[in-house]
Every structure is written in structure tokens, then in C-alpha cells.
Amino acid sequence: MIMEIEKNELLRYLGWNGQEIDETLQNKLDEAAKRCLAAAEPRSVAVRLALNEDFTLGNTGFRLEGEDIKKHLAGCREVYLMAMTIGLGAERELMRLSAKSANEALLFDTAASCAVESYADDICDDLEKSCAHRLTSRFSCGYGDFPLEAQKDICKILKTDTRIGLCCDESFLLTPRKSVTAVAGITDEPAPEKPQGGCGHKCGGCAKKDCAFRREN
């Protein structure tokens, strides 16, 4: 599993807009990426489940709520339910850096966000390969009207706490922070030759127009 921190993504997350980057800052960015990859212990869990007509998954009794996810999975009869995290080692390092320097903490935090997204993309590529069908882009709780509350059930079904050390708290937020849960539909089409990247890097269709991470198609 090659998890990368792509420089352009890191800058995009930091709100970069063409400003000049001098050597000092470049070194700090490189250092943060290196440190993050060293601290990360990526782990994931995924299960393949039938998508029933009432939008429940397999025999779990868990129902996907919201119109957006239904649209997203239109035509799929199966899905992958997945969760991934870069682990508590990175979380501890982030807490240590927060006590030391806000800038180092910011850069590490951002690098860690890139890392977990990149890792999630890799997992989706692998799943696509192993099922030999094209997957829809991954869709997470909080995207569109897919409720954040579903995060808790996803964690329960995947037993993420004991399997990958990922928990969902009372506010339906994930801990460690740098983690993802998602659903990806298994389409009838064959898997593409070249992996498409798990979330497709396309979110222009989302209704949340003021999102800082929005990317037009």
C-alpha cells in the first residue's frame, strides 16, 4: 500500500492560491509530509454487502438515508462499506505538535488529511481491482444529505473499534480525527484499466457550495 502526500493537494488544503513559496516554507512542508508518513499506521476494513431495494445493506438492518446517496448508488445492487484511518500514532504526534508550534501542527494536520484521503483512494482502487467492477466514487457521511449520524452504524457494522482502532463519538465524529468512512457502489461495468481515484476528486455536484475543499468538475 503506497500512501502518498501529494504536494498540490497539501497546498490546496492549506488554501494556497499561487503565493510564492520560499525555501523555508518548502522545507517545512516537506518535513510535515515526511513526519506524517512516519507516524501514520494506515488501517482499513471493508465489507461487500447487498444493496437491498429498501436501501438497507445485506442482513445488517442498516438503511442508507438521504436522497443524494440513493442517487449516487442508482443502478448498483451491491456496495462496499468501508472505513480507514491513519491511526492514533499520527493523532498523538499532532497533539504533541499542537503543544509546541501552531504552524507545525497546522502543516502536520493538513498533511494527515491528505494522507488519509490518498489512502482511501488506494483502498478503493484495490477493491475495484479485486471485484473487477467499476466502483462509484466513495460517498461519506455528511456529503450532501447523507447524515453524519450514519457514521455510528457504519462503525458498528465494521467493528472498527476493535479491528482498526477507529471509534465514533457522541457527536458522530470519528476518532482518530484523520479517518474516513464511506460507501462505494459496485456498478455493472467492468473495472477501468486505470484506477480513477476513490472519490474521483469531483465534488462540484454537491449542494454545499461554500465548502473550503470544494472542487469543480
Partner 1 sequence: MDFLSYLKENIVVFDGAFGTMLQKKAKERGIEIGTVPELLNIQRPELIEEIHREYAGAGADVITANTFGANEKKAGGRELSEKLVKAAVDIARRAAGNKFVALDIGPVGQLLEPMGSLSFDDAYEIFARQMQAGKSADLILIETMTDLAELKAALLAAHENTDLPVICSMTFEQSGRTFTGCAADCFAMTASPLADAVGVNCSLGPKQLLPAVKAILENTQKPVIVQANAGLPDENSDYSVSADEFAQVYKEMLGMGVRVIGGCCGTTPEYIKKLRALADAAKPAPSPYKRRSAVCSATKRVEIDGVRVIGERINPTGKKAMKAALYEGNYGYVTQQALEQADAGADILDVNAGLPELDEKAVLTKLVKHVQAVCDLPLQIDCGKPDAIEAALRAYTGKAVVNSVNGEDKVLDSILPIAAKYGAAVVGLTMDERGIPKTAKERVKIAEKIIARAKEYGIPEEDVYIDCLTLTVSAEQAQACQTLEAIRQIKKKHRVKTVLGVSNISFGLPNRQIINTAFLTGAMFAGLDLPIINPNIPENMQAVAAFNALTGKDKNCAAYTEKYGAVTVQTSVTGAKGAPAAQTQSGDIFYCIAKGLPEAADRARELLETVSPLSLIDDYLIPALNAVGDDYEKGVLFLPQLISAAESAKLCFDEVKKRLGGSSGAEKGKIVLATVKGDIHDIGKNIVKTVLENYGYKVIDLGKNVPPEEVVRVCREQDIKLCGLSALMTTTVVNMEETIRLLRKECPACRVMVGGAVLNADYAKKIGADWYCKDANADVKIAQYIFGGGEEVPRL
Site for partner 1 in 92-131 (CB under 8 A): 92, 95-96, 98-103, 105-107, 109, 130
Question: What is the bridge-based pairing of β-strands 133-135 and 43-50?
Answer: unpaired
Write down the least CB distance from residue 142 to partner 1, Å: 7
The stretch among 22-30, 65-73, 114-122, 182-190 that binds partner 1 (CB under 8 A) is: 22-30
Pick the binder of partner 1 from 91, 121, 122, 128 (CB under 8 A).
Answer: 91
Element (H, E) at 187: strand 179-190
Number of residues lying near partner 1 (CB under 8 A): 57
Residue with cell 466502483: 135
Q: Mark 40-79 with x for binding to partner 1 (rule: CB under 8 A) and - for no binding.
A: -x-x---------------xxxx-----------------
Q: Helix crossing, 88-100 with 102-131: angle to 10°?
A: 160
- Measured at the CA of 116, the angle between CA 162 and CA 192, to 5 degrees, comes to 105
Write down the least CB distance from residue 20 to partner 1, Å: 9
- Residue type at position 61: G
Pick the binder of partner 1 from 66, 142, 195, 200 (CB under 8 A).
Answer: 142
The answer to whether the CB of 66 falls within 8 A of the CB of 96 is: no
Q: Note the helical H segments in the chain.
A: 7-13, 23-39, 67-72, 88-100, 102-131, 150-158, 160-163
Instruction: Enumerate binding residues for partner 1 (CB under 8 A).
Output: 14-17, 19, 22, 24-25, 28-29, 41, 43, 59-62, 87-89, 91-92, 95-96, 98-103, 105-107, 109, 130, 142, 148-149, 153, 155-157, 161-162, 164-165, 167-173, 175-177, 210, 212
